[in-house]
Amino acid sequence: MTKVLIVDDEPQILRALRINLRARDYDVQTAADGGSALESAAAYLPDLIVLDLGLPDMDGVEVIRRVRGWTDAPIIVLSGRAGSEDKVKALDAGADDYVTKPFGVDELLARMRAVTRRHAGQAATTVLIGRHSVDVANHLITSTEGGEGTRLTPTEWHLLSLLVRSPGKLISQKQLLHDVWGPQYASETNYLRQYMAQLRRKLEPDPAHPRQLLTEPGMGYRFLANP
């Protein structure tokens, strides 16, 4: 579930966004001024920050700069000012997008999807595999259609993490063996065959014809995020 921090000093906007985002299954936190925004960002570690520039206590651009000092999370700026200069300043300070008020909620949601899609490559904490939602960081699997979530053994988690960590990228057998079983097992491809089969059996809808946990014959394995 994507964690969003919303920073705005107008309570009704905060409230409207909170309701809309929660309805779409976002995990939402809010802040009403620059100081608490910085605190919340550090404590809550959001995947995405929606930031109003017109804060009572601090310049919005300054907030962007401070946040950018330690995190790469996407920032979407909201602002009443439509001036070119403000936009340039905010974007160059590290913002990813700039939306002028008044704005449509649908548009904001689409822009949120666009920026998180870009950022998802490395920070993806939860991915979809077959009918399962896999949270690698918390070692949690939930079924997307009500049923029971499968359970993975430690070794299975370890192997899956490596693959999921870099979606779309080919990872060589040697690398996988090295990282999961240690340097001395550089050629025991039996392990990989065994555990890839188990992962497919537990996650892929049709284990015989995997769509996301793919084999690249003679080279390695690959995880595809978008099947």
Partner DNA sequence: CCGAATTTTGACGCTGCCTTGACGGAGCAG
Partner DNA sequence: CTGCTCCGTCAAGGCAGCGTCAAAATTCGG
Enumerate binding residues for DNA (CB under 7 A): 151, 153-156, 173, 181, 188-194, 196-197, 200-201, 207-208, 215, 217-219
Under the criterion CB under 8 A, does residue 84 sit at the interface with a copy of itself? yes
Min CB(166)–a copy of itself separation in Å:
9
- Return the number of the residue (33 or 214) whose C-beta is nearest a copy of itself: 214
Nearest 5°: phi and psi at 91?
A: -65, -40
- Return the number of the residue (44 or 181) whose C-beta is nearest DNA: 181
- Return the number of the residue (56 or 122) whose C-beta is nearest a copy of itself: 122
Min CB(70)–DNA separation in Å:
22
Q: How far apart are CA 187 and CA 203, in angstroms?
A: 26
Task: Supply 195's token pair.
Answer: 């555990």
Q: How far apart are CA 31 and CA 38, in angstroms?
A: 9
Q: How far apart are CA 76 and CA 158, in angstroms?
A: 34
Min CB(162)–a copy of itself separation in Å:
15
Looking from the CA of 64 toward its CB, the CA atoms found within 13 Å total: 26
* Residues 92-121 contacting a copy of itself, CB under 8 A: 92, 95-98, 104, 106-107, 109-111, 113-115, 118-119, 121
- Return the number of the residue (120 or 136) whose C-beta is nearest DNA: 136
Read off the amino acid at residue 205. Answer: P
Read off the amino acid at residue 200. Answer: R
Give me the 143-162 binding string for a copy of itself, x by CB under 8 A, dash otherwise: ----------xx--x-----
Give me the 164-183 binding string for a copy of itself, x by CB under 8 A, dash otherwise: ----xxx-------------
**Residue 173, binding choice from a copy of itself, DNA, none, Cβ under 5 to 8 Å by partner class:** DNA
**Residue 84, binding choice from DNA, a copy of itself, none, Cβ under 5 to 8 Å by partner class:** a copy of itself
Quick check: helix, strand or coil at residue 126? strand
- Return the number of the residue (45 or 197) whose C-beta is nearest DNA: 197
Read off the amino acid at residue 227. Answer: P
Quick one: which H or E segment has residue 215?
strand 213-216
Residue length of the chain: 227
Nearest 5°: phi and psi at 69?
A: -65, -25
**Contact assessment for residue 115 and residue 4, using Cβ atoms and an 8 Å cutoff:** no
For the four alpha carbons of 205, 207, 210 and 213, in that order, the dihedral sign comes to positive
**Which residues contact a copy of itself by CB under 8 A?**
84-85, 87-88, 91-92, 95-98, 104, 106-107, 109-111, 113-115, 118-119, 121-122, 138-140, 153-154, 157, 168-170, 216-219
